[in-house]
């Protein structure tokens, strides 16, 4: 079983060029079965195209035995995904995944 791949999306808007770049980079990493976690806590706005891209990614990962999880959703983004009923297809949480720091032995 593969470990989760964790991405922090560092843009306020998952639209246009940012979405295009994100889609291309993620597609190259989806060649194997993967469990992908996207931290969207910086994202203030998404559009219907972004929602369809995320749904497509979730569908592809599921077909490969993987999964997509969205974390750190702000209220407007979470409400938009609820309106589109994406929450039934993609696991999501308004809480970000805690980052754990571990000391490295010398």
Measure Cα distances from 53 to 2, 12, 75, 92 in Å.
23, 17, 20, 15
Q: What is the pLDDT of residues 35-66, one digit of tens each?
A: 888 888 888 888 888 899 899 889 988 888 88
Residue 67, pLDDT > 70, answer yes
Domain limits of the chain? 4-92
> What average pLDDT score do residues 14-26 get?
80
Q: Is the Cβ–Cβ distance between 97 and 69 less than 8 Å?
A: no
Token pair 């922090």 is found at: 8
pLDDT at 32: 60
Closest CA to 90 of 79, 100, 82: 82
Cβ-based neighbour number of residue 45 at 10 Å: 14
Q: Which CATH class is domain 4-92?
A: alpha beta
pTM, entire model: 0.77
């Amino acid at each position: 079983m593969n470990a989760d791949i964790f991405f922090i999306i560092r843009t306020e808007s998952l639209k246009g060029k940012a979405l295009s770049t994100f889609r291309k980079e993620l597609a190259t990493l989806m060649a194997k079965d993967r469990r992908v976690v996207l931290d969207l806590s910086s994202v203030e706005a998404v559009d219907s195209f972004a929602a369809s891209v995320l749904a497509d990614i979730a569908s592809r990962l599921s077909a490969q035995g993987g999964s997509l999880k969205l974390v750190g959703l702000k209220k407007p983004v979470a409400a938009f995904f609820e309106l589109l009923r994406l929450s039934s297809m993609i696991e999501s949480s308004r809480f970000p995944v805690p980052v754990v720091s571990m000391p490295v032995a010398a």
